[in-house]
Amino acid sequence: MNRKILQKYNRLWAFLLCGVLLLGGCGKADGGGSGAQALNNQGNPGPGSQGVQEGEASEIGEMMSYKDMRYLPEFTDMSEKYGAQLAAGAGFVNDTFYLVKRGEDSEGSMGQLIAYDPGTGEEKVVSESEGMIAAAPLKDGSAILLSAVSDTDYRLSKVDSEGAEIFSREYTDQALYEWKLNARMVADSQDRACLLTDNSVLLFDGQGNAMGKIDLSGKLILQIVSDGSGEVYLYDYYVSQLIPVDFETATLGASAYQIPAMMTLRAIAAGREADFLVCDDTTVYRYSCGDGNLVPLFDLQDSQISNALNIETIGEMEDGRVFIFSRSREVGNDDMEVAVLTPTPLDECPVREVVTIGTVSPGTSLLNSVVEFNRQNEDFNVSILNYSLGGRNYSEARAALKLDISVGRGPDICEIDWLDGTGDLLAKGCFADLSGYLDGSGAYRKEDFISQALDIYSYEGQLMAIPKYFSLRTIAASPDTVGEAAGWDLEDVKAAVQSHPDALVFAETGSSYMIDMCLRNMMGEFVDFEKKEAGFDSPEYIEFLDFLKSLPDNYDDNKSREYTGEWLRDGRALFSVRDIGRLTDFQVLEANFGGSYTCIGYPSPDKSPDCIIQAREAYAITSSCTDKDKAWKFVEWSHSTQGEESELEMMTRSGFPTRKDVFEREMEEAAGQSGTGAGNLGGTTISGSYVKYRNTSPEEIELLRSLIDCAGPEKSMEETILNIMYEETASLFDGSKSAEEVAGVIQNRIQLYLDE
């Protein structure tokens, strides 16, 4: 794992872990006439778009042109009437939403298939059946029903639009209990049913007779859908493809349609102006199979739709409106609502003023914060400019956002922690100083935040961003290798490595990370930043390069995640580069080392303890923002939501609150649980073994506090220098250049950089 991957890994895992639901279809050639720019199946602007020339802004303005049309919502709360835990969306057909309402009991309870007209709000019970768990509504108003008879038996039946039974077939010995609550079913143009279970697809003909079974081993099927012509597709997340189902041969079709791989897809339905209507975490699109293009229609946050994870059914209505059904997946949360969205030009909307937030990839916390803010604020709306729209490549999205900010054509607010090399932007004055806003805030002062977190984006006395959360990065090792006290110097590092000549240096990354590890606090020995003079051709630096070359590097990134703990426990790896974003991360360290460990930190000349502090959800107001007071209103409000996440969001959050009061509250709650034997706290798999989390110990809380006390941010100028070193030391490791030659090249490049 190289340095940049290591830096972004902790952030990216949460993004990818959230899962995907899907896309689909085949047939029509274009994406429909929204006027928005189409994105190809790499998530980039389609043919005809112009490349970015030096000094120009990116094409984000053209990509976001669809935002000129807003889809205004009308919500209907269905929580009290049905409850999210006892209901499931069955489909949207002919402008009618079909809902399965399950009974209170798991066995023998009466379920209902309900037809709901979103235009009038009228409801009709189409059918009642004991044990009903899923349904496939058909275009003529009839429906195919799936009902549980027992843990091993189920019934497939069909009813007409008035509920009269057309046929009923029972099937036995299917271990139904393993998948019945997750079962999803659709029908093709011949009313043949396709039932998706946990690991297979069951096919039935138009009379309910079994046609075959398709094994889904090796696939991760996240959705099943029928297109406008009645062909059935499965979405396989592993290959990011929409694959047709062949009923005649009971196999998956050979042809498939590629979906942008980086999209986190949440819902899919047959479209009217394109093959499919699809939804990811942020945006609803039209998707055309023929050219693989996505045409964005609207952003969920602009329509006040909260948490795309909860979207279960989506549909395109005949008059152009869009229907969305959402229900909570969290146990004990019965939130459930339907939304009917009406396309409306922005200049005709009740709230027309917009503050924009630019981000490389919006996380769940930001998305939900924007929705919550917009639902309660009548002065202006906050709108996200997602530079990864449609699955666009991260590096391209990051470069485009940095370009727009640097030329003064960026968003009003920037989620800055997604960017690398921000020092140049800070030095150019691309961001507003938030010190005055924070001093004048009626809600917070600087003293209310953990000072080390504010230091991350402080520049020459100015506060450029306020992170909501932070994480720490430290170096951990066995006490047998480094002792029990934090803090060491380069000579201690050399001694530890040389006393274990056959061991990998790091368990999670290659030995080249030693450049970061050692030079973090030694850069001043080789660079005088005030005089802008470099000294990387010195004997001391050449000696350091020789030390790097002597390190063993048979590290295999493909095996690291699987064997990290095993390597650390048996001494095949010495050090762990560990991000600490949750208290349970200390338990992971304990499991990896098989017992005690020392967070020794990064070496420094005086052996003082040191670790890196990193930002999560840090919002900066750009200098080009025309109404900074409104932008600050959102930034200030967003910090009021610290620690208020749902249980699911808390589980996936990687970072500690920057507000002292929220941080202390969470520490008190963790300390209060110590020794209580509280229930299932979850766990993780380490080297093939499942490790169950226990309650946090007082010693772990104290360790976290000690790491915060010694934490400091990475310096952006030093990051640029480190990148140069990484590029040039490659020739040292492959043997093509000597340490002296590499030092000379590094010296010349860094001196040129300092002279700029």
DSSP string, 279-323: E-SSEEEEE-TTT--EEEEEETTTTT---GGGEEEEEE-TTS-EE
**Which of 208, 202, 150, 156 lies closest to 176 in space, CA to CA?**
150
- Determine the pLDDT at residue 371: 94
Q: How confident is the model over 501-521, as a mean pLDDT?
A: 91
Q: 612 and 606 in contact (C-beta within 8 Å)?
A: no
Please write the tens of the pLDDT for every residue from 193-225: 999 988 899 999 999 999 999 999 999 998 899
Band (pLDDT 50/70/90 cuts) for residue 181 is low
Structural domains in the chain, CATH included, are: 473-612+713-755 (3.40.190.10)
Rounded-to-integer distance, Cα 115 and Cα 141, Å: 9
Please write the tens of the pLDDT for every residue from 225-261: 999 899 999 999 888 889 999 999 999 998 899 887 5
CB within 8 A of 311, min separation 6: which ones? 21, 266, 267, 279, 305, 324, 325, 326
- Determine the pLDDT at residue 558: 60
Q: Is a pLDDT exceeding 60 seen at residue 46?
A: no
Please write the tens of the pLDDT for every residue from 261-319: 556 778 999 999 999 999 988 899 999 988 888 899 999 999 999 888 899 999 999 99
Q: Which residues pair with 286 in a beta bridge?
A: 277, 295
Amino acid at 292: G
Residue 154, classified by CB atoms within 10 Å of its CB into exposed (0-12), middle (13-18) or buried (19+), is buried
Rounded-to-integer distance, Cα 517 and Cα 217, Å: 43
Give me 52's structure tokens: 């970015």
Q: 146 and 135 in contact (C-beta within 8 Å)?
A: yes
What CA–CA distances, in Å, run from 27 to 230, 256, 268?
Answer: 11, 12, 15
Please write the tens of the pLDDT for every residue from 551-582: 887 666 666 667 788 899 999 999 999 999 99
**Which of 462, 360, 32, 517 lies closest to 228 in space, CA to CA?**
32
- pTM metric for this prediction: 0.83
At 477 the three-state DSSP class reads: strand
- Determine the pLDDT at residue 680: 56
Q: Which residues pair with 128 in a beta bridge?
A: 112
Q: Is a pLDDT exceeding 80 seen at residue 637?
A: yes
What angle do the packed helices 584-593 and 698-709 form, to 10 degrees? 100
Average pLDDT, the chain: 86
Rounded-to-integer distance, Cα 718 and Cα 751, Å: 13
Q: How confident is the model over 345-358, as a mean pLDDT?
A: 93
CB within 8 A of 213, min separation 6: which ones? 200, 201, 202, 203, 250
Q: Is a pLDDT exceeding 80 seen at residue 323?
A: yes
